[in-house]
Chain A
Amino acid sequence: MKNSIKQKDTGWSEKTGRKKELAGRIAGDAFKIFIMLLFVFPFFWMITTAFKTYSESILIPPTLWPRHFTLDNFRSIAQSGIHLGMYAKNSIIVTLAVIVLQTIIMIPAAYAFAIRKFPGSNLLFGIVLIAFMIPQQISYITVYLMFSKLHMINSLWPQILPFGANAFGIFLLRQRFRQIPREIIESARLDSATEWDIMMHIAVPMCRPTMITIAMFSFIDTWNSYFWPLVMTNNDKYRPLTLYIEKLKAQADTAIQWNEVMAGNFILVVPVIIIFIFASKKIIEAYAYNGMK
C-alpha cells in the first residue's frame, strides 16, 4: 500500500523534481569547486609569492598575481652563502641510496618469508612487525650514539643505513609474492632452475608494480624527511633540502624574506608534484589499498 502511494507521488512531481535535482547538482558542484580552490590555494600562494619581489610580497593588500614576475628569488638563494646545489645533491644521493639499499635487502627477505618454510620464520617475521611501530622519535637517540661512537656522524651514512630494511615494504612484498601461483614455482624447479633464478626472473618481474609502489613510498618519505636529518647531522655539508629551507628562514634574522623562503619550498615541492601529476591515479589507489589492508 505504502509503496504504491509513494510511486504515484514521484510520478506526479517528476518534472519539477528533475529540475530541482539539476539545480541542486549545479549548486553542489559549484560549492565543490570552491572547496577545491580553497584546498590548492596555499600552493598557489607559495608559487606566486616565490615569483614576487620582496616589496611586493609585503604589499597591503597583497596581490593575487605577481605584478613584476621575477626570478630574482631563485637567483639570490642560489647565490647566497648557503649552497643550494650541495643540499640538493645530498637529498638526491640519500633518496636514491635508500631506495636501492631497501630493494636489495627487501627482495630475498620477502621471498623467503612468502615462499620458503624454515624453523623460526614466524619469530623472525615478528621482528619485522615490531619494527613497524617503533617511531623515529624513539630510535634516534640510540642510533645517533652508535654513529657518533663510530665517528660517522659527519657523513651521509646515518641518513641511509638506518632505513636499509623497510619493514613496511617487506610486509607488502611478502603479501604479493604469496599470490604467485605455486605451480609456476614448482614447474620452474622441475626445470632445475635455481632459487635465485626463480626469485629474480620469475617472482620479481611478476611483482614489479608492487615494487614500484614501495619505491615511490620510500621516495616521498625520504625526500620529505626533516626530523631524521635534523637530529643526525651537525654539519651543513651533509644536510638535505628540507633543512636548507629552514636555514633560509633562520638566515633572514628578524625580517623573514618570505618570497625567498617560498622559492626554496617551490624547489622542494616540485619533484613530488611532478611525480603525482604523472601517476596520481596509481598513487591514490596504492594509498587507499594500504589503508584497506
Chain B
Amino acid sequence: MSRINRKKRMHGSHPEDEILSMMTPRQRMSYYLKSYVMVLPAIAFLLIFTVYPMINIVRLSFFKGNALKPFKKFVGLDNYRQIFFVKKDFLNALKNTAYYTVAVMVVLIIMSVLFALWMQKERKINRLAQTVFFTPYLVASISCAFIWSWLYNQNPYGLFNTVLGWLHIPPQRWLNDSRMAMNCIIAMNVWRVVGYYAIIILASLKSIPNEIYEAAQLDGAPAWKVFFRITLPMISPQLFFLLITITIGSFKVFDSVRIMTNGGPGDSTRVISMYIYDYAFQRNNTLGIASAAGVVLMLVLILVTLLDFKGIEKKVFYQ
C-alpha cells in the first residue's frame, strides 16, 4: 500500500526470509501450501460474492432477460442505448443522484468542519456533544427515515407544520411536494451522518502540532488567516477522505429514499440505486437494463476510488 512497504519489497527483505532460507524445498512447499490454506476461505468468499458479481453484471448488461432466464437474448449494447438515448428515466435518476450528491457534499463538508472547530477544546460539554451528534449515525437509516417522515407529516399535527404554525407560516406538504421532497431527504441524511464526519475532522484537528499555532500567534496573524493558511491545509487529507466517502455513499443512497418517498412524487426523488432495484426484478425482462445502469454506477465508483488511491499516495508522500 504505502511507499515504505513498496521499498521494503524492492529490497526483498521480509522478516520471514531467514527461516525460509533455512528450509528444505519440501519444507518450503509445505510452508507455502499452509499459507494458501489460511487465506483460501476469505479469497473464495470474496471471489464468489463480490468479484464474480462485478464481472457478471457486465455480461448481464449485454443480454435481455429476467430472473429465471437472465441470458435469454443477446442484444449487444442495446441496453446502454436504451438507458441513455431512448428512455428518459435513467438520465432523470442520474440527475437526481448528482443533485443529491452535490448538495449533501457541500452542506456536510461545511457543517462537519464547523462542528469540529466548535468541539475542539477539551471540555466536558464537547465530549457530550460528540456523543450526541454521533448517535444518529449508528441508528438504522430506515429508522431515521421513518422518524423524519413522521416529523415531515403533511397534516397540521405534523411536528414541522406545528412549528411553522407558531411562526404563522401555512403548513407545507414536505415529502409530498415534488419541489421539496429531495431537499427533505437531504436534510435527514445530513443530520444522520454529520456527527461521523465531524469526528473525523476533529481527530485531524487534534493532530495538528500546537507549535504551529503558537508561531502564528506570535506573528499576530488574524484568526481567519490562521484557519485558511494553517488549519485547512493541515486537514486537507481528511477533507479529501470526506469527499470520496460522501460521493460513494451518495451514489448508493437507497434506504432513506425508499422509505420516505419511494422515488416520488412523480419521479422527483428517483435515484440510481432505486432505478436498478425497480428494473432488476420488479418488471418483465428488464434485468439487462438494470445491469447496464449498474455498470454505469460501478464505473463512477471505480473512478472515484482510483482518485482516492491517488490521494493516499500523495498523503504518504507529504508525511
Contact = CB atoms under 8 A, between A and B. Distances in A.
Interface-central residue, B41, B207, B238, by most chain A CB under 10 Å: B41
Interface-central residue, A2, A57, A141, A292, by most chain B CB under 10 Å: A141
Given A118-B35, A119-B32, A133-B301, A145 B294 contact: no
A165 B144 contact: no
Contact of B53 (A138, A265, A276): A138
Given A141-B53, A141-B57, A284 B297 contact: no
A37 to B, nearest CB: 9
Interface in A46-103: 46, 49, 57-62
A265 B143 contact: yes
Nearest to B36: A118
Contacts, number: 266
Contacts of A138: 53-54, 57, 294, 297-298, 301
Interface in B261-319: 272-273, 276-277, 280-281, 287, 290-291, 294, 297-298, 301-302, 305
B259 to A, nearest CB: 7
Interface residues of B, number: 100
B67 A137 contact: no
A113 interface: yes
Interface string A105-139: 11011011101111101101001101111111111
A242 B140 contact: yes
B46 A292 contact: no
A161 interface: yes
Given A142-B60, A291-B200, A116 B16 contact: yes
Contact of B19 (A45, A49, A189, A249): A189
Contacts of A122: 9
A12 interface: no
A221 B249 CA distance: 14
A261 B150 contact: yes
Nearest to A6: B220
A193 B90 CA distance: 60
B142 A245 contact: yes
Contact of A262 (B150, B191, B254): B150
Contacts of A143: 49, 53
A142 B147 contact: no
A140 B52 CA distance: 11
B82 interface: no
A268 interface: yes
A43 B197 CA distance: 20
A198 to B, nearest CB: 12
B136 A289 contact: no
Contact of B131 (A117, A227, A284): A284
A288 B205 CA distance: 12
Contacts of A289: 203
Contacts of B280: 140-141, 231
Interface in B4-58: 9, 14-17, 19-20, 31-32, 34-39, 41-54, 56-57
Contacts of B128: 36
A287 B196 CA distance: 7
Nearest to B166: A61
A62 B162 contact: yes
A106 B199 contact: no
B28 to A, nearest CB: 10
Contacts of B36: 118
B143 A269 contact: yes
A242 B70 CA distance: 29
Contacts of B83: none
B227 interface: no
A112 B135 CA distance: 36
A246 B35 contact: no
A148 B66 CA distance: 12
B134 A284 contact: yes
Contacts of B45: 105, 161, 164-165
A223 B142 CA distance: 11
Given A137-B254, A261-B150, A276-B138, A245 B143 contact: yes
B49 A258 contact: no
Interface in B186-214: 191, 195-197, 199-200, 202-204, 207
15 contacts: A36-B129, A39-B136, A45-B159, A49-B150, A105-B42, A108-B39, A116-B31, A133-B305, A140-B280, A141-B294, A144-B67, A144-B281, A280-B131, A291-B199, A292-B203
The 9 nearest A-B residue pairs measured at CB: A291-B200, A142-B53, A165-B45, A224-B140, A109-B42, A139-B53, A108-B38, A112-B38, A118-B35
Interface of A: 2-3, 6, 29, 32-33, 36, 39-40, 42-43, 45-46, 49, 57-62, 104-106, 108-109, 111-113, 115-119, 121-122, 124, 127-128, 130-146, 148, 161-165, 167, 170, 182, 189, 195, 220, 223-224, 226-227, 231, 242, 245-246, 249, 258, 261-262, 265, 268-269, 272-273, 276, 280, 283-284, 287-289, 291-292
Given A117-B17, A268-B143, A288-B203, 7 more contacts: A57-B157, A108-B38, A112-B38, A138-B298, A141-B280, A170-B42, A189-B19
